[in-house]
Amino acid sequence: MFTGIVEDVGVVVEAVAGHLRVSSGRIAADAKPGDSISVNGIDLTVRALRGREMSFDAMPETYRRSNLEDLDRGDPVNLERSVRPMDRLSGHIVRGVVEGTALLEAIRPDGEAFVCTYRAPRELLRYVVVKGPICVDGASLTVTAKSEDSFTVSIVQYTQTHTHHVRRHPGDRVNLETDILARYVGELLDQGARGTGHGWIDDPSRTLP
């Protein structure tokens, strides 16, 4: 589990089908084989370490749902180590399970901030709420606006410095993970509407103990 507070921007050393190698002195210094690292919001397991470089394997399913195949040598990636029980949850609950991708539609300055608008699939926008959280390439961001086919976030100065978001260009593809709490509520409501769910939520005559 992660918080969406990016700790370092690493650099891709190698990106081939099923394999990724990333350089990051800060993250690699504290990592060991078997650790979970969020790479652009994707929960990947460290397979091997060599100095500043971490090697990861990725399943075909991960490539189908993320922007991994877009990565090339020299590209920046947002990195975060998995959360520990004693850590502050400064962002929101992030699983590192990418659900799909979005396209950066526009980026513009807004005072000291940058406003980014992303065009996203409607099946994911369903779980996006104005003033609610969204994880974009591993960073926990707050939604400031939403339309039928897009959502907008504001990138504050700290996030500008500690992530690669303001280095992106319109047309770039980013990884999305929606709020897990919204997904659970949506699934329970869907089950109730279909009459396929189980438990007290499907029986209005029952109350919580």
Contact yes or no for 38/2 (Cβ under 8 A): yes
Least confident of 6-10, 37-41, 152-156, 182-186: 182-186
Reply yes or no on whether the pLDDT at 206 is more than 50: no
> Is residue 149 over pLDDT 80?
yes
SS3 content of the chain, % helix, strand, coil (to 5): 20, 40, 40
Whether domain 8-81 has CATH 2.70.98.60: no
Residue 63, token pair as written in the block: 């490539």
Q: Are 176 and 134 in contact (CB under 8 A)?
A: yes
**Can you tell me the mean pLDDT for 139-160?**
96
Q: Please, where in the chain does CATH 2.40.30.20 lie?
A: 8-81, 100-186
pLDDT tens digits along 51-97: 999 999 999 999 999 999 999 999 999 999 999 887 878 888 899 99
Predicted TM-score (pTM) of this structure = 0.87
Give the residue-averaged pLDDT of 176-193: 86
What is the tens place of the pLDDT at every residue in 9-58? 999 999 999 999 999 989 999 999 999 999 999 999 999 999 999 999 99
The C-alpha atoms of residue 152 and residue 68 are separated, in whole angstroms, by: 23
Q: Which fold has domain 100-186?
A: Elongation Factor Tu (Ef-tu); domain 3 (2.40.30)
Q: How far is Cα 174 from Cα 153, in angstroms, rounded to an integer?
A: 13
- C-alpha to C-alpha distance for 107 and 85, rounded to whole angstroms: 36
Asked if 39 and 27 count as a contact pair (C-beta separation under 8 A), the reply is: no
